[in-house]
């Protein structure tokens, strides 16, 4: 029974990753520019700007704005450029409305546990790659972040 449940979990994560999931490979790149794509999916063809602006987090977990770990002084919509300094694994996130069965078939769907540590002017924090353009995902040859990095 445990193996079956594990298989279902793996299948669900795989199906949510999108058409061409990118596997992160660490490199020696010092930094890389990434572009915000703050969009969510509500159906098989829906792909619209999230009504909540993107924020940076002090921790690599979902819903930081509700848990007191969002970084003050920064929000952004799609198109904003951020300077990624490194990446690390954290809580998995998705841009799909999981209550909508049709949204799970949307070609723009993305799920990932990869988080970039980014700089936006004088502000720094974490952002999950599902809220970035597809070209900004996959680690970009950046190094792994130091495990002690929180901010």
Name the residue ranges covered by the structural domains of the chain.
Answer: 2-136
Nearest to 13 by CA among 102, 104, 90: 104
pLDDT given for residue 22 in this prediction: 62
Rounded (to 5) percent helix, strand, coil in the chain: 20, 35, 45
Pick from 136, 131, 112: nearest CA to 56? 131
The series of mean pLDDT values per 10 residues for the chain, 151 residues long, is 36 44 79 94 77 93 91 94 96 80 77 94 95 94 85 53
Residue with tokens 């279902």: 8
Q: Furthest-apart CA pair in the chain: how many Å?
A: 50
**pTM for the whole thing?**
0.81
Residues 6+ apart with CB under 8 A from 143: 26, 27, 28, 29, 86
* Distance (Å, whole) CA 72 – CA 88: 21
């Amino acid at each position: 029974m445990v193996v079956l449940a594990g298989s279902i979990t793996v299948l669900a994560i795989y199906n949510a990753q999108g058409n061409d999931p990118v596997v992160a490979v660490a490199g020696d790149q010092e930094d890389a520019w990434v572009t915000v794509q703050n969009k969510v999916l509500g159906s098989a063809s829906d792909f619209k700007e999230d009504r909540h602006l993107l924020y940076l987090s002090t921790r690599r977990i979902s819903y930081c704005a509700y848990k007191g770990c969002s970084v003050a002084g920064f929000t952004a919509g799609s198109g904003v450029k951020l300077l990624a300094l490194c990446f690390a694994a954290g809580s998995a996130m998705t841009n799909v409305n999981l209550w909508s069965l049709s949204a799970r078939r949307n070609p723009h769907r993305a799920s990932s546990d990869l988080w970039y540590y980014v700089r936006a002017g004088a502000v720094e924090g974490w952002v999950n790659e599902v809220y970035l353009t597809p070209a900004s995902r996959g680690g970009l040859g950046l190094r792994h972040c130091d495990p002690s990095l929180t901010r």
